[in-house]
Structures are given as structure tokens and as C-alpha cells.
Structure 1
Amino acid sequence: MEISSGVAAPETRKCPECGSAVPVDERYADWCSACDWNVDPGAADPEPGRIAAARRRLAQEYGDQLAAEMERAADGGGPPARDTATVLASGISLLVHGMTALLVVTGVLLVVLGWETGVQPVIGVLLLGTASVLRPRPVRLPKDAPVLYRADAPRLFELIDEVGAAIGTTGVDAVVVAPDANAAVTGYGLRGRRMLLLGLGLWEILPPQQRVALLGHELGHFAHGDIRRARLTHGALHSLSVWLHVLAPMPAVRLLDRFVNAATFVPRWAVYGLLLLLDRLTLRASQRAEYLADASAARAGSTEAAVGLMDRLLILGSVEAELRRESVAAQMLGGRGGREARDRAEEGLWERLALHAGAVPEHEYERLRRVAARRGHSVDSTHPPTHLRRRVAASGGSHPAQVVYEGPRAAAIAAELAPARTSLARRVIRDLAG
């Protein structure tokens, strides 16, 4: 007698190209793993601007070459060779900051020594104002997001410290909790204290060990350094971006507008070229730092967790869309049910988001991996292609987890994050749709 397992067989259809069985799931695109039919039915995302487009082209240009260097290093072939790009980038950054300092000195001299003409002090004030806009600014803690310190979340900071120790660095001074599907580290304040940005849209969809891998990756930026995050280079990139914005052509409505556009043409393209050059000099080292941070993720959370984290990065667009859908649905319900409906939508938001991410089948992940390889998907324009990051992380050997995140520790950290989860769920439901 044959006993049914009670589990329905997945629905399939024949591939119109090769005739192979194609799984059918109304939530996702039908595609064939045998011949790649319909593997990439959508259009590639448009580039957000010339600078970002240039960065992505550079990332593709380095592509397999840099990944191969990192794989050789993982196999015992020695660290990747360093070049003079970092020295040149530092020199250009000093030149950019020198221009800002020159504006300050010139402005002060015109204000102090030019009172007899009456015009020079005005020019001096304008130069000082320009220098004020261009000056490097320390990052400040946000005022519109929950900020946790060690006393607020001792178990969370204990976990961060343990991950830091596992990869050879220290922890952070503050954790900023945000609703986004993102995570990052940076320095803040004049003393350069360490800050971790923890986006619940990413944290909540990760299994426990992938959360450790995420912390290992972010803290890995402190352990290995990243020239683009250094104050000198980061400030220079900021100044050049501001210059490019100031020199941008204005609509040629009047004759004066055309004259100004013509007068700023050469300096505008000079600044643009300098920004591209600084990007080119720093991007390769920055992408190498991303690969090294991925290696830190594997050491802290395990290779399996680090590779799984790369897969979760592929569905971040779907996660952000789900957050917007939750917000829109709550706004529509709120029109009929008022505050009670919105309260119900806020309750359990992050759990529903985790279920949404957890329901993505392996067949869809495989499709996204193939699409990522075709399009060169990356988290943003400064990151290496995600499929190469996954490949390099997997090639570094099978690392067991050095830090374990489960049981009472996971429950305690969830309790420490509970107030932030509640307030940010309210923000998502009430603000994101608008």
C-alpha cells in the first residue's frame, strides 16, 4: 500500500526552448535552468548618473582580474600586489584640500587687507563661504533614528566585540538602527569614534549565523582599511562632488546664463576629470577591501553563512518593495479602519518581512545568481559584482563559525532591539508610502 507524504509535487511546465521541466510559481518568473530561457525577463536598472555609471564600468573592468587575485591569495599565493594608486590618490586628495585651504587664506586676506576698495571684502566673504561648503565634515549621529550605546544594549555590543576580536579589530561606540535594507560602518565626530548602521530591513531577513557574517563584513572594513573611507580621500571626493554641483550648467534662459555656462565649461570638465581620476585610483583598492571584508565575514560567521549572505543581498530589491507594499496597504486600510488598522500593520511587520524573504525558493536564488552574473549586479556602484564576491568567499576554504549567535544570546539581543523595531515599524507603515 502506497502512503502519500501529504506534500504536493511542485507544478511544472515544459520549456518552450528545450522541453525541460520548468517549475511554476506565480510569485516569480518562470525560467529554465537547462537553457536559461527567460532567466532575465526584466530590463537592467538605469544608471543613476554619470559618476555611478563610470564606477560600475570600472568594477566590471576589474571584475575577474581582481577576483582571481583574491582567490590566489586565499590559496596561499600571497597577498595581492599593491601599486602606487594609493599614493597618487593621497596626493590628489591633498591637492584638493590644498585648494580649499587656499580659498580660506585668500578670503581672509581679501577681508582683512581690502577694506579700502570695498569690493575685495565681498569677494573674500564669498570665497570663505565656498570654502565652508567644501570643507571636510565629520559624520554626525542622526537625530531621526534610534541610537544605541553600550549601556542600552550590552548583549548586542558584546556580540559586536566578539566578532571584532575574531577578525582582529575592536567593536563600535554606537549602533544606529534604521529601517533600510542596508548595513555600514563609519567614523563619526571629531575624534573619529566608530559607528555601525544596522538596517532592520537586512538584519531581520538573515538567519542567525548570517547576522554574524554581516557584522564580520562590516567590522572587516575597520580591520583591513578602505582608502575611500579614509578622512583624507573621503573629504576630497566630497569636495570634488560639491565643485561639480556648483559648476553644473544652468538653463540658458538669458544671455548671461550662456556666458556663465561658457565660462565654467573648462573648470567643470577639469573637476569632472579629476573626480573620475580619483575614483579610478581608489576604486580598485576599495573593492579589494570589500573582498577582504567578505573573508572576515567567513571567519566570524562561517563560510556557509558568508556565501548565504551574498544570496540574501540579491533579494534586497524585493525586500524594499515588500516594505513599500506593507506601507501602502496599511495606508489604504488606515483610511477605513483608522489608527487601529495601522497599529495592526505595525505589529509583526519585521516577522512578516522575514517570512517573505524565507519563502524565496532556491530556484529563484539560482535565477538571481545567473542574472547577477549577466548584469554585474552589485550592492552599489562602489562594490564589486556580487556573483564574484560570492565566488571568492566560497573559494577561501571552509571556515567554521568562530562566533555563535543562538539561544539565550539571540533572545537577549532581540529584546534590546525591540524598542527600535517598534518605532521603526511605525515609521515604515506611516511614512514610507508617501
Structure 2
Amino acid sequence: METVRQSLGGVDGEGVRPCPECGTGATVHAAYVTWCAACDWNVDPGAPDPDRGRLAQVRRRLAGRHGEQLAEEIGRGGSGAGPGGPDGSTVLAFGLALLVHGVTAGLFLAAAVLIIGGWHTGIQPVLGVVLLVAVALLLPRPGRLPKGQPVLYRADAPALFGLIDEVGAAVGTTGVHTVVVDTSVNAAVSAYGYRGRRVMVLGLGLWEILTPQERVALLGHELGHFANGDVRSSFLMHGALRSLAEWHSVLGSVNHGSIVDWFLNALTFLPRWTVYGLIHLLDGLTMRASQRAEYLADAGAARAGSSAAAITLLDRLLVSDGAEAHLRRESITAARAGGGSAGREAREAAERELWERLAARIDSVPEIEYERLRRVSARRGHSVDDTHPPTHLRRRCLATADPQPARVVWDGPRAQAVAAELAPARAVLGRRVIRDHAG
């Protein structure tokens, strides 16, 4: 969250002022929201979260409900986050996914019949080609490596891949084939190509603001998804959800106010809401398993980097908006540096120092601000995205579980080796961030 600068009651800089609600001393930081830890006065003065659209809102509600249920089971020592075979909902979800793909297969057969059997009619082959285009859009396809980002292979970064292998062994899986580095405040794993090779995406916006052990915990969380699986990321389920999303987009209502638009909306009303209902049903059937996978991944983060590192990693996610805002400000500041040698030198300095300045900015966030953001997170149900459990529930589960020591300790020399391997990507992406506005 981007912080809000305030100067209340004539207070400037750090200090203490009485809370206007309960009279307790409230810590004042000039660069952050002033609030009262005793009564929560002014704890959440910001605007509400932006509207995400109907599907995203439904998914977020489902994520919150299942996340709460699983967190309670874990808190009672239950098996809510434990491994096991697929439950009835998951089996039904896969059956529904097969039905969705069956529709795609049926469209392909219909296209073949129209093209081959109706070739003499002239119009049927045209309809068949239209159906083939629809099939091409709906067919599940393997993932691809992101374009335009630095890509590292094992030969390029042996120290980084060695660390990933070690963390993978700690959480019960193997490493990855490829690492893609980008500027996001995020990290992710997926598969690409028909052979299902593993790729990890490391966003420097997140990586650079973490301590070494928090980075180990981050790797443990991401690799934990490979170790435990996630029904929603399987080729079959992901392809079905993608097909339904394509149908929903194609059948979306048109609101230009004309008679033709009204007729088209009426014609597509039933199929549009049928597709929406199928998406909602698949979300409901798979959300609990997806939430379980996130809690298991958090447990992997604790095993690899320690419980303490996994917890503070989640705290760092609360300031991710602030990290993104800092990168935007750096880019805009460089754009305003002007032309000539002075402007060029300012931009070059911004490129060289970008990631260090980001890390310093986040390191300067006081604990009182983290506590405020934790309380705001619980109020708003903050989560990484619309399918993750609420962050405060994930943190609570880690904090109440038996403390885990680090299985992978990342010391100074090893950290320096990995930093050297990432240096070329850091330079490229630093220039890209600064020149987005300065170009």
C-alpha cells in the first residue's frame, strides 16, 4: 500500500500525539498514516479496494470462505492442509472439465462434417471454417516462456539453480529448468512446452526487498506448489477454465443502445449465463483444493527458510503496493530530469541505483506501519490475488504452528554469488523501468 504523508496537530517527523478517540499516545511518522494501536482510530483511512468485476468478486468471496474454514481446521490440528487423494468435489470438477473439452471436440467434429460432407453446398464449408476458428481459440495449449524478459538457464546461473535445487529437496520436489526475471512484485511457477518443463518467474520488485532467508522462504513456497500440486493449475482444469473464459468474453453483452445490440444480447443471454454458471461451479468445486495448496506451499516456505522468514515474507507482501509505487516514482522522476548531459547522467544513476533504492525504501518502513497494514489486511481480507487465501489467515496459521528451523541457510558468500548471476538481468530491467517514462 502506498503510504500517506500526514502532519496532524502540528506534529512533523517522528513523535507521539494523543489519540482523539481514546487519548492513548499514537506514534507519528511524517511519511506514514498516524493511527492508534489501542482503539484502531484512523487505521484504514484509504480508499476501498478497487472494483474487480463480477467473476473476480465471486472468486474472492469463495477464497475467503474456504480460506477461513481451512485456517480453523489447521488451528484445531486438523488435516485441512494435509495431503491426500482428491475429494468428491475435485473428481466432479475434473468430470465437468472433461465435459467442457468434450464440447470443443464436438465443435471440431461438426466442423469436419460441414467441410467434408457439405463441400458441394458452398456455405457449409464456410461455417465449418468458422467453427474451426472457434476450436482453435478454445483448445488447451501448453504454456510459453514470457517474451521480452531475461531468461536464465542452469549454465547461466549455477549458484541460483543450486539454491533452487536445495530448496526443492527441502520441500520434497526437484528444481526448475528455467528462471525468468521481470520487474513485478511477485513470483510464480508454471510449466511450459509440450514436455511440461518447469519455469520459475522471479520479480525483482519482490526479490530485492527480501532478506536472504525470506528469499529462501519465497523459493520454498513456489516450489511447494510443484511438491503438493494444485488442481487449478493442471493442464486439463486450466484449459477448461480458459475455454469458459473465452466463451464468456465472446458472449459478453453489448451496450451501445441500438436495436441490433438488444437483439444480440437477448440471443446470447441464456448461453452467456450458462457459461458464467459453469465458471462459478468450477470455481466452487476447485477453490478449497486450491486454498489447501496455498497453505501447503506456506508450510514448505517455513520448512525451507524457517517459520520466522515465512511470516515476515507475508508481511513484505503487504507493502507490495508501496514497492510498485516507488518504481513508478523513480521512473517519473527520471523522465522529468530533462535532456542534455545532466539529464542523461541522472537517468543512468537512477538505473544503477534503482533496486538498491527500492530495498532501502522498504527497509525504512517502521514496524508500526507493518502492524497497521496487518490490521487493514484482516479488515479488508487482503490476498495476493482473487484465488489466494486472505494473507492474515496465512500468517496466523504460520504463527500458531510449531516453529520450523531453516533447512536451507543462505549465507553471505552464496548470496553474493547469486547476486552476481542476477546482475545482468538487474541492469537490463533497471533500464527498462527508468526508460518506460523517460524514453
| 1:51 is the counterpart of 2:52 | no
User: Where does residue 292 of structure 2 map in the other structure?
Assistant: 288
Q: Aligned to 2:155, what secondary structure does the other structure show?
A: coil
Choose the corresponding residue for 1:98, options 94, 97, 102: 102
Give how far 1:253 is off. 4.7
Residue of structure 1 equivalent to 2:234: 230
- 2 CA distance for matches of 1:399 and 1:153? 29
| Secondary structure at 2:254 match in 1 | coil
Residue 207 of structure 1 corresponds to 211
- The two structures, once aligned, show a CA RMSD in angstroms of 1.8
Pairs within 5 Å for 1:28-427:
28-73=32-77, 83-335=87-339, 337-427=342-432
Per-residue CA distance 1:363-399 (angstroms, 9 max, x = gap): 0000000000011000110100000000111222111
Structure 2: how far apart are the matches of 1:76 and 1:317? 31
Cα distance in 2 for residues equivalent to 1:429 and 1:48 = 29
Distance 1:18 1:253 in 2: 54
In 2 relative to 1, CA 432–103 (structure 1 residues): closer, same or farther, beyond 3 Å?
farther
Alignment of 1:10-29 (within 5 A): 10-29=14-33
Residues 283-313 of structure 1: CA deviation (Å, up to 9, x unaligned): 1110110000000000000000000001001
Secondary structure of 1:47's aligned partner:
coil
Work out which of the residue numbers 410, 419, 428 in structure 1 matches 2:433. 428
CA separation of 1:334 and 1:223: change in aligned 2, threshold 3 A: farther
Q: Contact (CA 8 Å) 1:93, 1:233: kept in 2 or not?
A: yes
Measured at CA, do residues 252 and 152 of structure 1 come closer, stay the same or move farther in structure 2, by a change above 3 Å? same
2:73 and 2:85 map into 1 onto residues whose CA distance is 8
Please tell me the residue identity of whatever aligns with 2:284: R
Q: How many residues are treated as equivalent by the alignment? A: 426
* Equivalence for 2:7: none
TM-score by length of 2: 0.94
Structure 2: which 5+ runs fail to align? 1-12
The separation in 2 between residues aligned to 1:346 and 1:111, in whole angstroms, is 57
Residue aligned with 1:142, SS: coil
Query: What's the counterpart of residue 4 of structure 2?
Result: none
Going from structure 1 to structure 2, the CA distance change for 1:432 and 1:95 (only over 3 Å counts) comes to: farther
Q: How far did residue 124 of structure 1 move?
A: 0.2
Offset at residue 77 of structure 1 (A) = 10
- Taking the aligned partners of 1:79 and 1:167, their CA distance within structure 2 comes to 13
CA contact (8 A) 1:334 1:341 kept: no
Secondary structure of residue in 1 paired with 2:410? coil
Structure 1 CA distance for aligned equivalents of residues 283 and 67 of structure 2: 16
Residue 348 of structure 1 and its aligned partner are, at CA, apart by: 1.1
Listed one character per residue, the Cα deviations across residues 108-150 of structure 1 (whole Å, up to 9, x for unaligned) are 1111111121111000000000010111121111220000000
Q: Unpaired runs of 5+ in structure 1?
A: 1-8
Give the Cα separation in 1 of the matches to 2:52 and 2:393.
22
Deviation at 1:265, TM superposition (A): 0.6
- TM-score under structure 1 normalisation? 0.95
Deviation at 1:212, TM superposition (A): 0.1
Deviation at 1:405, TM superposition (A): 1.0
CA, structure 1 residues 159+253, in 2 after alignment: closer, same or farther (shift >3 Å)?
same
**Partner Cα separation in structure 1 for residue 117 and residue 338 of structure 2:** 64
Rounded to whole Å, the distance in 2 between the matches of 1:162 and 1:74 is 29
Q: Percent identity?
A: 63
Cα distance between partner residues in 1 of 2:81 and 2:428: 49
Counterpart CA distance in 1 for 2:416 and 2:81 is 42
Comparing 366-375 with 336-345, which one deviates more in the overlay? 336-345
| CA distance in 1 between partners of 2:364 and 2:437 (Å) | 23
Partner Cα separation in structure 2 for residue 100 and residue 303 of structure 1: 46
2:151·2:178 contact (CA, 8 Å) conserved in 1?
yes
Amino acid at match of 1:170: T
Where 1:248 maps in the other structure, the secondary structure is coil
**Rounded Cα–Cα distance in structure 2 between residues aligned with 1:115 and 1:43:** 60
Distance of 2:48 and 2:134 partners within structure 1: 38
* 1:5 corresponding residue in structure 2: none
Amino acid corresponding to residue 381 of structure 1 in structure 2:
D
1:247–1:268 CA contact under 8 A, matched in 2: yes
Residues 402-434 of structure 1 deviation map (CA, whole Å, 9 limit, x = unaligned) = 001121110000000000000000111111679
**Counterpart amino acid of 1:15?**
C
Do the aligned partners of residues 294 and 189 (structure 1) sit closer, same or farther apart at CA in structure 2, a change above 3 Å counting?
A: same
> What letter corresponds to residue 434 of structure 2 in structure 1?
I
